[in-house]
Amino acid sequence: MLYPLSYGGLAGADGSSGALWADTVAIVARTAVPRGPAVAIRILAVDDDATIRKLLQVNLELEGFEVHLANDGQDGLDKVRELRPDLVLLDIMMPHLTGWEVCEAMQADEELARIPVVFLSARASDADIKRGEAMGAAYMTKPFDPFDLIDLVSDLTSDIADA
């Protein structure tokens, strides 16, 4: 089984920015039954990088999750309010609102505060990780292993899948 989210950067071997996406889509092959939930679990992936959004979508959908996308912090917050997802994957460094600001706005809203957040960020300092954890969020640094991401998302949504 091959996963297209073996994210190691945006440039391919030839230096082109689209090479990673084209190469990975071309080699995606699935023979195993998805490990994902029996019920539709709605995930919102918020990242300003279109390639990462698409890779998150492909990997999570292969595992049986329902995936929605947002391209910046404000778009993400708007979609959280509209969709009420079961989990939010949130980049930190984005235009309009940072991931920190989106998470703080979610925590300030009683109905949104219950939604688990996973920060997916290239910001890997101890201070950033501690800040995310202090906000009650899980934290995964880029680049990350797609299996680790799937395991984390499955763990955080297991109560929904078991219902």
Q: For the whole model, what pTM was predicted? A: 0.79
Domain topology for 35-162: Rossmann fold (3.40.50)
pLDDT tens per residue, the chain (163 residues)?
A: 334 444 444 444 444 444 444 444 433 433 344 555 556 899 999 999 999 999 999 999 999 999 999 999 999 999 999 999 999 999 999 999 999 999 999 999 999 999 999 999 999 999 999 999 999 999 999 998 999 999 999 999 998 877 6
Extents of the domains making up the chain? 35-162
* Rounded Cα–Cα distance for residues 143 and 8 (Å): 6
Residue 147's nearest CA partner among 64, 42, 45, 35 is: 35
